[in-house]
């Protein structure tokens, strides 16, 4: 398994709209394994293939990491087939927008259809962090970052903070 570099905004590759996976084959399973390794290495709870520069509709997630025990989830070609009118607010972060955390409002409950690691069709009803994280990751597959949900002012403050952190990293 390989840890892949995670793209950081404003990298234009994060704006790509990912394509459906035609077949969950060995190549896709290697991508899934590399994404899980990359997500755990970065202390994330989710990762979309777009974040490592691969424009395919693949997401990995683990919102239940506890005491060194992993509970990985895999979503290939996910689709939200129902979303509640009720909204919920979560403070979100993103491995592609480091050190920025902001409240984002999204549907509180969703039903999603997707393929698992074995290529079999699955349905999931989710609320709480699972629903929020899945919507955040599905946004990545459509070239959308969580800061795109913020007001113009908050987004420009976030982008300026990111640029400053990048400058500091480069100049030491
Ligand atoms: O970059 C990503 O898409 C992953 C992102 C997922 C996410 C987090 C919070 C709300 C919605 C979606 C992250 O994993 S950010 C890192 C993170 O959550 C975390 C890092 C260190 C400690 C605890 C949490
Ligand atoms: Zn993200």
Q: What pTM does this model have?
A: 0.96
Dihedral angle computed from the Cα positions of residues 1, 27, 47 and 11, in that order, rounded to the nearest 10 degrees: 100
| Marked catalytic residue, from 85, 91, 92, 137 | 137
Residue 172 has pLDDT above 80, yes or no: no
Domains, the chain, with CATH or none: 12-171 (3.90.45.10)
Which ligand has its closest atom nearest to the C-alpha of 103?
1
| Residue 6: strand, helix, or coil | coil
Maximum distance among all alpha carbons in the chain?
A: 49
Is 37 considered catalytic here?
A: no
- Which residue from 5, 92, 93 has its CB within 8 A of the most atoms of ligand 1, so it is best to mutate? 93
Cβ atoms of 76 and 89 within 8 Å: the answer is no
Is 88 a residue whose pLDDT tops 80? yes
Residue 171 has pLDDT above 90, yes or no: no
Report residue 68's pLDDT band, with 50, 70 and 90 as the boundaries: confident
Q: Which atom of ligand 1 sits closest to the CA of residue 91?
A: 10
- Residues with a CB atom less than 6 Å from ligand 1: 43-47, 90, 92-96, 132-133, 136-137
Q: In what order do the strands lie in the sheet with 58-61?
A: 46-48, 58-61, 73-83, 109-115, 121-127
Distance CA 142, CA 79 (A): 12
């Amino acid at each position: 398994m390989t840890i892949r570099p995670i793209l950081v905004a404003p990298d234009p590759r994060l704006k790509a709209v990912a394509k459906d996976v035609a077949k969950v084959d060995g190549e896709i399973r290697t991508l899934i394994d590399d994404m899980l390794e990359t997500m755990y290495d970065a202390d994330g709870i989710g990762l979309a293939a777009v974040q490592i520069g691969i424009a395919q509709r693949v997401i990995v997630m683990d919102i239940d990491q506890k005491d060194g025990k992993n509970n990985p989830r895999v979503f290939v070609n996910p689709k939200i087939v129902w979303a509640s009118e009720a909204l919920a607010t979560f403070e979100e972060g993103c491995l592609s927008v480091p050190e920025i955390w902001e409240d984002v409002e999204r549907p509180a409950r969703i039903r999603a259809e997707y393929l698992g690691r074995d290529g079999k069709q699955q349905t999931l009803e989710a609320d709480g962090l699972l629903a929020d994280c899945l919507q955040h990751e599905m946004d990545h597959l459509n070239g959308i970052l969580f800061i795109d949900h913020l007001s113009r002012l908050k987004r420009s403050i976030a982008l300026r903070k990111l640029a400053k952190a990048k400058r500091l990293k480069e100049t030491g």
